[in-house]
Amino acid sequence: MKTEITHTVEMHTPGGEPIHLFRITNDSGAYVELTNWGARWTAAVVPDRHQQHADVIVGYDHLSGYLSDTYYMGATIGRFANRIQGAAFTIDGKEFQLEANDGVHTNHGGYSGFHQQCWQWQELPDGICFTLCSPDGEGGYPGTVQVEVTYRWNNRNELSIDYKGTTDQVTYLNLTNHAYFNLSGTKNKITGHSLQIPARKILDTTSEFIPTGSRVEVAGTLFDFTQSKPIGADLYAEHPQLTWNKGYNHYYILKESATPDWVPAARLYDPETGRLLTIETDLPGVLLYTAGYYEHPHTAVCLETQYFPDTPSHPDFPPCLLKPGETYRQQILYRFSVQNS
């Protein structure tokens, strides 16, 4: 039996573009759902230790919710994941002013981000390839950028996301997925989920979520997830970083260079159901966000693998400057399994 892919047109944008819902089902009956609106991941229905299936992606009951979504739920984030200080950067002596959608800063591509666009698509034997052309000047970014985001789902309950991008002018590109996970398959808080992130340092940030450039050792701090611990263990502790972030909203450094090497990014486990999610990537870090600014705080956790936030402002951060003739290629692998104890 091969992977089954179905799709339906659920609705249309105000401009008349069709919004599709895709379902990719493997041999065991586990499936993921995607949509071309924002090239989003909207569902992952996987078994628990008793072979009971449930959706572990937090989102909306109908695709119409994603049209007005302000939480980036399951979306492909671009052109630049996370923030850029002052909504501006300089390339070869020329300053580019971006859309300031987070105070004086820009976040997740600004108002013109990839999450609020209708993507083209192509069905593959085991997944969907979404494509988008971002014209020169969109969101203030230079260069016409062609982007591909390919989702594949297999019989091992693994979802891979492959990112590819090209440009006709020098520009910055930093893509990620913004899925919200709750492995219980409920709307309960994720404080009982155990999390491990094999990173010894995080980026220090200001109260406006902008990196200062300093790296902070996590050993002996509330931010240490090098050994698995419940997310709620220190979530409500009195600490300035936890206060202004309304929980965790921190970038964990997996490697200090933009190498193609794969690294483990996170291990998330729900002891109630036995569901286990492991994430691997070739990206240099992962943003841990416990959804403190979501309308239902701490009922989901985001683990966004990406380049360092505000890379254009920090020459010592791993570079994500894309030039004509080069190809941006990055990957993420999400593996769902069950642990019995």
Tokens of 134: 């971002």
Tokens of 190: 């994720």
Catalytic site positions: 178, 304
